[in-house]
Copies of this chain bind each other. A is one copy, B any other.
């Protein structure tokens, strides 16, 4: 494989930055090849070469948005999970991303292109929590046989259910309660008391 042309990389980055802005401002409906061309100055021909179909552009724009929202791990399990879920909470309460998730849930079951996009977003959207949990297993703070997929559901599921099914909004206290209950259920040992200073 040849390395990518640096001009292509620059065009791609500029286009995705514009696409991400459009997504934040207008939601999925505002994210079109034409709007990205107008905002980024990249030609439509180039955009269609990079992303032949609309779902391709949607996937890469949301993936960029998710990766820019990622929190840094500190090694403090409770704090890291709370920070990661605070990002999920924010996405569920920003009108554009909330609406994008609702559309995706509906479209994914009838349109294979959207199903593939949603699969990629599910992977990138749960990546941080998976990494935090795997590290905690490696440190033996969580049991070696922890079912990580199930744990991801137990952490993200209540937030999605409350926002998208119950149609309620919620604050940081709710996220803290979900993390606390999860740790109460799964921690292999109580948190160190820091008594030996």
* Chain A interfacial positions (CB closer than 8 Å to B): 98-99, 101-103, 105-106, 108-110, 115, 118-119, 122, 147, 149-150, 153-154, 156-162, 164-168, 174, 177-178, 181-182, 184-186
Q: How far is the CA of A185 from the CA of B159 in the complex (A)?
A: 18
B-side contacts of A153, CB under 8 Å = 157-159, 161-162, 166, 178
CB-nearest residue of chain B relative to A102? B106
Bound: A165/B185 CA distance, A: 24
Give the contacting residue for A109; candidates B98, B154, B168, B177; CB below 8 A: B98
A–B pairs, 19, beta carbons within 8 Å? A102-B106, A103-B106, A105-B105, A105-B106, A105-B164, A109-B167, A115-B167, A122-B165, A122-B166, A150-B177, A150-B178, A153-B157, A154-B158, A156-B157, A157-B160, A158-B158, A160-B161, A160-B165, A181-B185
**Choice from B159, B162, B167 contacting A118 with Cβ under 8 Å:** B167
Which residues of B sit under 8 angstroms from A161, Cβ to Cβ?
153, 156-157, 160-161
User: Which chain B positions have C-beta within 8 A of A185?
Assistant: 181-182, 184-185
**Residue of A110, A150, A161, A181 with most partner-chain B CB within 10 A:** A161
- Nearest Cβ on chain B to A1's Cβ, whole angstroms: 31
Partner of A122, one of B106, B157, B167: B167
- A162 / chain B contacts, CB cutoff of 8 Å: 149, 153, 157
The closest CB in chain B to the CB of A182 belongs to: B185
**Minimum Cβ distance to chain B for residue A9 (Å):** 32
Report the Cα distance A159→B168, complex, angstroms.
18
Closest Cβ neighbor of A107 among chain B residues: B106
Contact: B119 with A109, CB < 8 Å? no
Please give me the residue from chain B that is nearest to A164 by CB atom: B105
